[in-house]
Every structure is written in C-alpha cells, then in structure tokens.
Amino acid sequence: MPVNSNYETRLQQKELARVLLLLSGVLVLGTLGYAWIEGWSILDSLYMTVITVTTVGFGEVIPLSDAGRWFTILLVCAGVATGFAAAGVLGRAVLSNSPLRARKRMQKAIDQLSDHVILCGHGRLGHIVRRELELAERPFVVVESDEDVFHNLAEERVMCIQGDATEEAVLRAAGVERAAGVIAAIGSEAGNVFITLTTRELNTECSIVARAENPSTEDKLKRVGATRVVTPYALGGRRLAQAFLRPGAVDLADLAIGCASSKHEMLIEEIPLSAVEGSQDRSLASLQLRTQFGLIAVGVRHASDGELYFNPPADKPLHTGDRLMVLGEREQLDAFLDSLS
C-alpha cells in the first residue's frame, strides 16, 4: 500500500507539472505573439493574453488587426484546452486523495481508542464476531488484508485498517498496546500463531482469543500467549451432536450467551468485585442478587487460586479480586454493575 500510494502521488505531481508548464507556455507565447504582431508593450501583451486565456470577457486593450484577431482565436482555443486539462488533473487529484484523507481521519480516531478489541480477519467467522461485538457495544477495530472487504467496512463506517495482521506495524496502528483484547480469526493457522506471538510481545496484559482449524495447533497457540483457543469445526460438530442428544442443554447455553431467539435477552456475566468497598467482609447473601436485582449467582472465581466454584451457597464469603458469575437480563446486569460502582 505505501508503494502504490507513493507511485500515485508522483504521478499526480508529474501531471500537475505538465499542466503548469503548458499554461506557462501559453502565457509566454501569447505575450510574445501580441508584442510581435501588434507591437504592444510586454505589459499590454501579457494583460491581453491573460484576459483572453481566462475568457473573462473584458474588452480589447487596443483595437486588433486582422492578424491579431486570428491569433486571438487560436489563443482562446489553447486557453480552453489548457483549462480542461488542468480541471481534469485537479479533479483526479481530489478524487484519488479523498480515500487517503478518509484513512487519515479513521487512523486519528483509532489512535484515540483504548481498552478496545482488535479483530484480525473479517471473513465469514470474523463477520459473526463483529456483529457480536456491536451487540455488546464494545469498541473494536477490524484489521483486514482484502481491499474490497476493507472498502465495504469503510463504507459502513466501521473502524478498520487494511493490512496484514501478522505484521507488527499493522497491529501497532490498530492500537495493540492499548487494547483490552485481540481476536485472531484469519484463515491461516500460521498467521494466527504470528498474531498471537506478536500481540503478547507488545501487550502482556490483554486477552487473546485465537482461531485454530486443527486441534493440534491449540497447544502451540497457548504456548505463544493465547488466553483462549477456539476450534470452529470441533465446536460446531459438538454443537450439532448436542442439539440432537441434549436439546435442552443447547437451549440453555444459547440463553446464557445471548444467542437464543427469546423475548428477553439472558446473559451470563463474570463481574469483578474489586470495586465493592469492604467486599472481603461480604457474603453472597449480602449482595441481594435475587431479591434486589433478580439475578442468579452461577459461580464464584476466587482471586487466590483462580478456581471457579459453581452454585455457591448464600453464606459464601467474597473477597477483593473475586469474580462473580451471574445470570440475568441485560437491564438487571446493568443495574447491578451500577450499584457496584
């Protein structure tokens, strides 16, 4: 892309130089022509040339001879042709630079993001991921190498960058150092490994979810820093089987992750309790999840050992740094989060 951009810029500069040279030649020839044919001064000849070339409609400085009138006709034709050429060059320059200016504006907006998600790849899988991020109202940036896909995203006003996500410079442009997470969803397993490795080097704290086509790649991705690895074909196969064997469990799973086509959207959220003042002295019952917010406590992940305890009792003690997993509607979850903050 930079090579093509530089080539186009040089081409535009050459075309503009040719037009300026042509315009200068018309002015010089017109001035010399009037001075030679009519015997005028250089100033009068230049003035007559300018008002003739620009077709402003002013009257003649001095009455013209027949030879001067024929020369004026030729000069008008030359001036009009030069004007059309200049308009074409300027028009192409404006149209070609419009996408460049749009990219600069988008890059400026991306530079102001923080705690966002970087989605690498906008294929069939990436498109679904993008829709989920939009539904969750999470800020995100798409990194896509395909030019047509990039232009479609830009037309939809989606924050995006065209480039190879395996390159460090592209990830930096997407703000990987400030990102809350990276989703490596390109079709190449080697590419997802490179994305994961580069991201972990640039950001040691963010979550990395990587796509793997082959289950044997899962260990490699985790070794280079992936937080989670998803194998779409294996996941889809298990889901197909469970949809037949245990349809109720699949419906419950869909409900928990917001995929069920029900009237009320039910979600499971893992909420950190570090913001709760004195949370180390609290029990689960003191939060009044059921009575005040209509939420169900699914589990507690202890900060001390990272273990997840399902179906905790009401007298379960909660400590600073623990993460509470609750099930409820979006409005109920938002109300509980507001009470914590």
Q: Phi, psi (5° rounding) for residue 59?
A: -75, 170
Neighbours of 33 (CB within 10 A): 19
| Domain count within the chain | 3
The per-residue pLDDT for range 273-325, each reduced to its tens digit, is: 765 444 455 778 888 888 888 888 888 888 777 778 888 888 888 887 788 88
CATH code at position 279: 3.30.70.1450
Of 109, 124, 139, the position where a domain reaches its end is 109
Residue 241 belongs to a domain:
no
If asked whether residues 212 and 126 sit together in one domain, one would say: yes
Residue 327 belongs to a domain:
yes
If asked whether residues 272 and 320 sit together in one domain, one would say: yes
Residue 36 belongs to a domain:
yes
Residue 129 belongs to a domain:
yes
Whether pLDDT at 265 is above 70: no
If asked whether residues 86 and 138 sit together in one domain, one would say: no
Residue 251 belongs to a domain:
no
Pairing mode, if any, of strands 282-283 and 160-162?
unpaired
Percentage of residues of the chain with pLDDT beyond 90: 26
If asked whether residues 214 and 127 sit together in one domain, one would say: yes
If asked whether residues 40 and 140 sit together in one domain, one would say: no
Q: How far apart are CA 140 and CA 116, in angstroms?
A: 5
Of 109, 133, 153, the position where a domain reaches its end is 109
If asked whether residues 13 and 45 sit together in one domain, one would say: yes
If asked whether residues 104 and 179 sit together in one domain, one would say: no
Average the pLDDT over 234-263 and give the result: 70
If asked whether residues 138 and 208 sit together in one domain, one would say: yes
CA within 13 Å, CB half, 313: 3
Of 83, 109, 135, the position where a domain reaches its end is 109
Average the pLDDT over 29-34 and give the result: 87
The per-residue pLDDT for range 154-181, each reduced to its tens digit, is: 888 899 999 999 999 999 999 999 999 9
By residue range, what is the domain housing residue 326? 264-340
If asked whether residues 117 and 232 sit together in one domain, one would say: yes
Single pTM value for the model: 0.61
Residue of 327, 339, 252 whose CA lies nearest to 297: 327
What residues form DSSP beta bridges with 257? 267
CATH code at position 143: 3.40.50.720
Q: How far apart are CA 123 and CA 213, in angstroms?
A: 14
